[in-house]
Structure 1
Amino acid sequence: MLKKLALITLMGMSASAMAGQWQVKVGGSVVDPTGSTNVDGLGKVEADYQYAFTPSVEYFFNDNFSTELLLAAPIKHDIKLDGEDIPGTSIKQLPPTLTFKYNFANSSQFTPYVGVGATAFLVWGEKGVVDKVKNDVGYAAQIGVNFQPADAKNWGVFFDARYADLDPKVRLVGSTDEFKLKIDPMVYTLGYSYKF
C-alpha cells in the first residue's frame, strides 16, 4: 500500500513539474545590421535592415532558467555601397539562435529576462555582384520582458532585443579575394507567447 501511495505521489509530482515547461513565441522582428566593412578599391560595404517573422520555442527548467531556440523564415539583406543600394544585389540567410536565459520571476505581471548563447548565419542564397557567401557562427546576447495580463492563464506579450556577432566571408563577382562583411545585427522583436 505504501509503495502504491509513493508511486502515485511521485507521478503527481512529475506531472506537476512538467506543467508550464514549454513556451511558444510568435513575433515580428526588425533585423538591423550595425556593422560595415571598408573594402579597398570599393568603399564601405554593408547589409541593409530587414523585417522578419521570428517564431521561437522555449523550455523552462524551472521558474528562473530556460533555453530558447529562435527560428525564422529566410532573411534577405540588400547590399549597399557607401550608403547606396547596389541594384539587384542581396544575400539571404537563416539565423538559428540558441540562448540560455535567466528569468527574473517575481510577483508582478512583468518578467524581465537576459540570455547568452550562440547564433549562426546559414547562407540561403546570393544575387547580383555577390559571387559567394560562407556560413558563419558567433555569439548572441538577449534582453527582454514578458508581460502576462492578470486574466491570462497561459498567454502573454513580449518584447526583446538581441545582438548577434556575425561576420560572414564574402567574395564578389570577378574577384578572388574574400572579405568579412560585418553584419552584427540587432534584432528587435515584439510578439505573443503561450506557455504549456
Structure 2
Amino acid sequence: MLKQVALIALMGMSASAMAGQWQVKVGGSVIAPTQNTNVAGVGVVEADNELAFTPSVEYFFNDNFSAELLLATPINHDITVKGDVNAGVNIKHLPPTLTAKYHFKNSTGFTPYVGAGVTAFIPWDEETSGDLASAKVKVKEDYGYAAQVGVNFQPADAKNWGVFLDVRYADLSPEVTVNKTTKFDLDIDPVIYTLGYSYKF
C-alpha cells in the first residue's frame, strides 16, 4: 500500500515538474532583407520582402531561461537584378533558427524577452527569368548568427495561452553562382517581424 502511495506521489510530482515546460507558437511573419549586393558587370542584386507562416517550439528550463526552435514553412524569395542585366531568380528556402532566450518575469501579464542563437539558409529549386532564363543559377546553404527581442502577453484569465510580438535579425549571405563563372555573396541579413499566438503545456 505504501509503495502504491509513493508511486502515485512520484508520478504526480513528475507531472507537476513537466507542466509548463513546453510552448508552441504559431505566427505570421514579414521577412524584410536589409542589404543588397553590387556585382561588377551585373548591377545591384537584392531580395524582396516576403510573408511567411512561422510556427515554433519552445522549451522552458525554468521561468527565465528557454530555447526556441523556429520551424518556418518554405519561403519564396524573388531575387531581382537592377542594372545592365534585366533578370530575376526565385529561390525557395527554409530558415531553421535556434535561439537561447531570457524572459524578464514580472507581476504583469507582459513578459519581455531577448534571445541569441544560430540560423541557416537552406535553398532549393532556383528558377530564373529575363536575361538569366537560360542560365544555371546555384545558391549554396549559409549559416549565421541570429538575435531576437520580443514580448509575450498573457491575459489575467488565461491559464496557458497568450499572444506575442517579436523581431529577429539573421546574419545571412548565401553564395550564388551563375553558369559556374560569376560568383558572389548575396547579402540578405533579414529582419523578421512576427505576430502570433502561444500556448504553454
What is the aligned partner in structure 1 of residue 166 from structure 2? 160
Matches within 5 A, 1:1-196: 9-82=9-82, 89-128=89-128, 129=132, 131-172=137-178, 174=179, 176-196=181-201
- Report the CA distance shift for 1:175/1:168 in structure 2 as closer, same or farther (over 3 A): same
- Report the CA distance shift for 1:187/1:168 in structure 2 as closer, same or farther (over 3 A): same
Distance 1:68 1:43 in 2: 38
What secondary structure, in the 3-state scheme, does the structure 1 residue paired with 2:12 have?
helix
What secondary structure, in the 3-state scheme, does the structure 2 residue paired with 1:82 have?
strand
Distance 1:24 1:175 in 2: 43
What secondary structure, in the 3-state scheme, does the structure 1 residue paired with 2:91 have?
strand
Shift of 1:88: 5.2
Q: Unpaired segments of 5 or more residues in structure 2?
A: none
- Report the CA distance shift for 1:86/1:126 in structure 2 as closer, same or farther (over 3 A): farther
Question: For 1:145-182, what per-residue CA distance to the aligned partner results, in whole angstroms no more than 9, with x for missing partners?
Answer: 0000111111100000000011000012x451310000
Q: How many residues align?
A: 194
Distance 2:82 2:113 in 1: 37
Alignment root-mean-square deviation, CA: 2.0
Q: TM-score, with normalisation over the residues of structure 1?
A: 0.91
Question: For 1:59-102, what per-residue CA distance to the aligned partner results, in whole angstroms no more than 9, with x for missing partners?
Answer: 1011000000001111111112239x955521111000000100
Q: TM-score, with normalisation over the residues of structure 2?
A: 0.89
Does structure 2 retain, via aligned residues, the 8 Å contact 1:76–1:90? yes
Distance 1:89 1:161 in 2: 27
Does structure 2 retain, via aligned residues, the 8 Å contact 1:160–1:189? yes
Distance 2:125 2:142 in 1: 14
Shift of 1:13: 2.8
Does structure 2 retain, via aligned residues, the 8 Å contact 1:79–1:86? no
